[in-house]
Amino acid sequence: MNRPPDVELVLRDYFADDGFTAPDHVLDVVEERIARHPRRLAWRLRGRPIVNTYAKLALAAAAVLLVAIVGYNLIPGRSTTGGPKPTPTAIPTSAPTIAPTTAPTNARASTPVLPAPAELQGRWLTDIAPDVAILTLTPTNFTISWLGGDSGRIEVEGDQITFRGRSNPECPSGGTYRWSIEGDKLHLEPVGTDPCPFQTEWAGNKTYTRYD
Amino acid sequence: VTAVDRELVIAAQRGDQVAFMDLVRARLDRLFGIARRILRDVDRAEDALQDALVIAWRDLPDLRDPDRFDFWLQRVLANMCIEHARRDRRRYSKLEVLELSDHAARDELAGVVDRDIVDRAFRRLKAEERTVLVLRHYLGYEPAVIAEMLGVSGGTIRSRLHHAHRAMRAAIDADARATAVGGSAV
């Protein structure tokens, strides 16, 4: 009986070049993606400073000046002699929009499906290893740029948003998340179990930062 | 890395996308070959390669020695392939053995072993083991180099190689036994 072939030789043959070439569109896609990839923003998200020493000093000086001005105006009695008080509209307008258009969970059945509110729309960014994820929300659609990426429809009901991605044939009903915005942070928290595995990876308990 | 490539790497690190694309273009088939061999699927290999190249573009400023660009790029790709394979495993956890996508490659290996046998055995391995086999037998790296590339210990690599070889050996032996008694192994 013949001696069985050496497994290393078999593997070397198995892996031998077979003339396969990469499809042309691979380069096109990469070129298009890196052209819009925010390299510097990615650094910032990963905790790397992107400002030079002078800029840092200027920022520090500005911060100290700001604290001094605020502190000076907070001294008792100063408000009577100080400059004009800020008008009520000077309070950040984000306060009322921070909370989603509140709709108690038990009232969902009667809450109509509406386009995403203005504060939810735009581009949001977070760092999910091994890449930066960019979530774009329009009134009725979403796009996620992360690894393979996905896009599809969204439905917003009060504080809940449902993503129905086109790349998720295994979960046509999509996955629902409770959203909340605090400052420039968007937090997504799953409502129940999202049957879409890929979606869970970029949306489940993730906090995004507003990009634009 | 040639002197020209070295200049291209430095330019790409400074943000020159054309230089980066030139570097990638010259290596694309080789990189695609690595991804396709690890993932055993053309479409997934494309996805993994694209993601790896975007990550490479993003992280290129971190590369301290431009002469190690190829090694570094292969490391990014190998890790991305493992990441994709893990994700696919989660997504398609019920599929133990995937269908062959490279039908053109069905022929005999070393004149003795049917490629399907080797292919099936290879696909049953964990992504980490497949990656180690590709790095060892396709790219020819020593275990110590593979350990550095994947960021694990040399012992882990030797262990993965040992297990992968044993699994492949078992599949080939089983095929040989089936052939010896006149049956068909496929």
By three-state DSSP, how is residue A141 classified?
strand
| Tokens linked to B185 | 């192994």
Alpha-carbon distances, residue B114 vs A6, A137, B75, B121, B185 (angstroms): 14, 51, 31, 11, 9
Contact A22 B29 (CB under 8 A): yes
Identify all chain A residues contacting B17, using CB atoms and an 8 Å cutoff: 31, 34-35
Angle formed by the axes of helices B115-124 and B154-180, nearest 10°:
140
pLDDT one-digit tens code per residue, A155-202: 898 899 998 887 666 677 788 999 999 988 999 999 988 888 778 888
Residue B28 has pLDDT above 60, yes or no: yes
Rounded to the nearest integer, the mean pLDDT of chain B is 82
> Which residue type sits at A62?
A
**What is residue B104's predicted lDDT score, i.e. its pLDDT?**
39
Q: Does B113 touch chain A (CB under 8 A)?
A: yes
Cα distance between residue A4 and residue A169, in whole Å = 45
Tell me whether the omega of the peptide bond preceding residue B143 falls within 30 degrees of 0, making it cis: no
**What is residue A108's predicted lDDT score, i.e. its pLDDT?**
44
Identify all chain B residues contacting A165, using CB atoms and an 8 Å cutoff: none
b/e burial code for range A157-183 (CB count within 10 A of at least 16 → b): bbbbbbbbbeebeebeebbbbebebee
Q: Which residue of B has its CA nearest to A32?
A: B54
Contact B58 A12 (CB under 8 A): no
Residues of chain A with pLDDT under 70: 1-5, 17-19, 37-56, 75-113, 130, 148, 167-170
Q: Does A20 touch chain B (CB under 8 A)?
A: yes
**What is residue A126's predicted lDDT score, i.e. its pLDDT?**
87
Least confident of A30-34, A176-180, B8-12, B106-110: B106-110
Q: Does B69 touch chain A (CB under 8 A)?
A: no
- Which residues of chain B from 13 to 32 reach within 8 Å of chain A, CB to CB? 15, 17, 20-21, 24-25, 28-29, 31-32
Q: Does B55 touch chain A (CB under 8 A)?
A: yes
Query: With left for phi above 0 and alpha for psi between -120 and 50, is residue B40 left, alpha or beta?
Result: left
Residue B72 has pLDDT above 90, yes or no: yes
Cα distance between residue A113 and residue A77, in whole Å = 51
Q: Are A211 and A149 in contact (CB under 8 A)?
A: no
Dmax (CA) for chain B in angstroms is 64
Q: Does A50 touch chain B (CB under 8 A)?
A: no
Q: For residue B25, give the nearest of A2, A27, A29 by CB distance.
A: A27
**What is residue B108's predicted lDDT score, i.e. its pLDDT?**
42
Q: Does A212 touch chain B (CB under 8 A)?
A: no
Identify all chain A residues contacting B168, using CB atoms and an 8 Å cutoff: 7, 10-11
Q: Does B43 touch chain A (CB under 8 A)?
A: no
Q: For residue B169, give the nearest of A1, A7, A33 by CB distance.
A: A7
**What is residue B115's predicted lDDT score, i.e. its pLDDT?**
77
Cα distance between residue A125 and residue A145, in whole Å = 9
pLDDT one-digit tens code per residue, B126-168: 888 999 999 999 888 999 999 999 988 989 999 999 999 988 8
